[in-house]
């Protein structure tokens, strides 16, 4: 999570949406950088509302804009799948080293998710809090140029972005049957992504 006081902007860190690269690029100009522990770095809206918002509104402003990046759901899950296949995950209960992508997605669709498929939800991450606190500006992960233009304009400076914490590249095949199940069971994930226009909202 990054906080920019003068710009009155909070950048939430949705996992697997490239925020580590943005944090590296923007940390020098951010007023608050939360990069550890993961539970705070990746604070979803409800945790931001409970622990951060009261402090920020008291000392910065009440009209803070909250930004989040959302990735196309199959791509997002593919990044998690590849991340959990890295060599250091061998032997850990949540590794995907011996699990096919179809099996991973099928597990994600279950009510009782197996450990390897328990990766959270983008829709749940940005779900508005009970008091109305919510993300006020979304960008698609795939619209890096739009996000860059917005941030450069808002922060008043050029941004040099590098690739960080990238999951290993590998071809992933998802059967039509399993993809249809994912779209049916996790419709909220696709509806959220589809609601975000290119260029932010």
Rounded CA separation 119/116 (Å)? 8
- Residue 125 lies in domain: 2-194
pLDDT of residue 164: 65
Report whether the peptide linkage leading into residue 37 is cis, meaning its omega lies within 30 degrees of zero. yes
- Whether 166 maps to a domain, the answer reads yes
> Residue 67 domain-assigned?
yes
Q: What is the pLDDT of residue 166?
A: 67
pLDDT of residue 89: 84
Q: What total of structural domains would you count in the chain?
A: 1
pLDDT digits (tens, 9 = 90+) for 56-91: 999 999 899 999 999 999 999 999 999 999 888 888
Tokens 């779209």 locate to: 183
CATH number of residue 43's parent domain: 3.40.50
Supply the pLDDT for residue 88. Answer: 81
C-alpha span between 90 and 120 (Å, rounded):
21
Determine, yes or no, domain membership for 127. Answer: yes
Cα–Cα distance list, 182 to 128, 129, 139, 193 (Å): 23, 26, 22, 14
Domain assignment present for 54:
yes
Q: Does residue 201 form part of some domain?
A: no
118-155 residues labelled b (16+ CB within 10 A) or e (exposed): ebbbbbebbbeeeeebebebbbbbbbeeebbebbeebb
Query: pLDDT value at position 86?
Result: 87
Q: What residues are paired with 68 via a beta bridge?
A: 138
Backbone angles phi, psi at 167, to 5 degrees: -70, 145
199 within a domain of the structure (yes/no)? no
> How much is the pLDDT for 79?
94
User: What residues of the chain score a pLDDT lower than 70?
Assistant: 164-168, 200-201
């Amino acid at each position: 999570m990054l906080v920019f006081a003068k710009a009155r902007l909070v950048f939430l860190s949705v996992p697997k949406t490239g925020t580590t690269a943005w944090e590296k690029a923007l940390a020098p100009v951010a007023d608050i950088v939360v990069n550890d522990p993961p539970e705070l770095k990746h604070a979803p809206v409800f945790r931001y509302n409970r622990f951060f918002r009261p402090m920020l509104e008291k000392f910065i402003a009440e009209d803070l804009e909250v930004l989040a990046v959302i990735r196309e759901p199959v791509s997002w899950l593919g990044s998690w799948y590849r991340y959990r296949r890295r060599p250091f995950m061998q032997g850990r209960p949540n590794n995907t080293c011996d699990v096919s992508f179809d099996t991973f997605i099928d597990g994600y669709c279950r009510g009782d998710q197996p450990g390897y498929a328990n990766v959270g939800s983008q829709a749940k991450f940005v779900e508005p809090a009970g008091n109305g606190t919510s993300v006020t500006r979304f960008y698609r992960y795939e619209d890096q140029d739009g996000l860059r233009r917005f941030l450069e304009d808002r922060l008043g400076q050029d941004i040099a972005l590098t690739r960080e914490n990238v999951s290993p590249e590998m071809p992933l095949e998802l059967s039509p049957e399993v993809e249809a199940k994912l779209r049916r069971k996790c419709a909220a994930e696709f509806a959220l992504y589809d609601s975000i226009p290119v260029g932010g909202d």
